Amino acid sequence: MLSAMAGQEMLAIFLGWNAIPVLVAVSILCVLLCACMSKGAKETVRDILQRDPDTTLFFSYYEELKQGAWDKPSLSKHHATRSLVVFAPVNSALQSNVGQRLLMSLNEQEWRKYLLSHVALSQVLDPASLEKLGRDSAVTTVTGIGYPLSTLFSKYTDGTDRVLAARRASNGWVYKVPALLPAEDLFARKTDD
C-alpha cells in the first residue's frame, strides 16, 4: 500500500499538483472495483465440489445424471430465494464395500433419486442456523426425503463427526460427509410372496 501511495505522489509531482484529485478518484475506483471482483469471484457449490479432492466422485456422478424424475438443481447457479445445500459423501464412502454394494444394487432411477437425496434447496444456510432450528427439525431434499438435523450434529458410534467440513459457497453450502446418507427410507423394496 505504501509503495502504491509513493508511486501516486511521484506521478502527481510529475504531472503537477492539479492531478492529485484525479489520482485519488482513480485510486478509489480501483479499490471499489477490486472489492466487487472479489465478491463475484467467490466459489460456487460446483467449484467447491469440483476442486475438493475428497468430493470428485460425487461431483462426477452428479454431473453425469441424465434427465429424469426430480429436478436436478444447477450447482453453479443461484436459486431465487433458496440456497443450495449439498451433503457430499467423500470419495472413500463411495468407494467403500458398502458404498459399492449399494450403488450396484440400484437401477438408473433409484440411483438418480439416491444421488439427488444428497441435495436440498433450503433457506437454511449456515451451520449456526441449522443448530438453532433444533435437532428434531429436518432438511428436505429435492426428492422429498427429510433428513433429521440430528444426523448432522451427532457423532457416529466410533466418535467421528457426521460432518467433516462445512464450506460456504456463493450459492449455498457444501457439507462434506464421511458416509453415504441412509438409503432405507428411499426405496420400498418389494418382497416376493
5 or 65, which is more confident?
65
173 falls within a domain: yes
186 falls within a domain: no
Same domain flag for 55 and 93: yes
Same domain flag for 102 and 146: yes
pLDDT in tens, 11-49: 555 555 555 554 444 455 444 444 443 444 489 999 999
Same domain flag for 75 and 168: yes
Same domain flag for 70 and 149: yes
Q: What is the C-alpha separation between 139 and 117, in angstroms, rounded?
A: 10
Distance of CA 4 to the CA centre of its chain: 37
Same domain flag for 111 and 162: yes
Same domain flag for 168 and 102: yes
Q: What is the C-alpha separation between 28 and 34, in angstroms, rounded?
A: 10
Same domain flag for 81 and 157: yes
What is the rounded average pLDDT of the residues 139-163?
Answer: 75
131 or 12, which is more confident?
131
* Average confidence score pLDDT of the chain: 74
Residue 147's pLDDT band (cuts 50, 70, 90): confident
Same domain flag for 32 and 15: yes
Same domain flag for 50 and 113: yes
Same domain flag for 22 and 116: no
Q: Which DSSP letter does residue 145 get?
A: P
Q: How many CB atoms lie within 10 A of CB 11?
A: 13
Same domain flag for 145 and 166: yes
185 falls within a domain: no
Q: Identify the pLDDT of residue 26.
A: 45
The three-class DSSP label of residue 178 is coil
The three-class DSSP label of residue 2 is helix
CATH number of 157's domain: 2.30.180.10
Q: Identify the pLDDT of residue 148.
A: 72
Q: What is the C-alpha separation between 86 and 166, in angstroms, rounded?
A: 10
What domain count does the chain have? 2
What is the rounded average pLDDT of the residues 79-106?
Answer: 88
Same domain flag for 82 and 114: yes
Q: Identify the pLDDT of residue 69.
A: 74
Distances (CA, A) of 130 to 133, 155, 179: 5, 16, 20
188 falls within a domain: no
115: nearest Cα among 65, 172, 159, 189: 65
Domain that includes residue 78, residue range: 45-177
The three-class DSSP label of residue 108 is helix
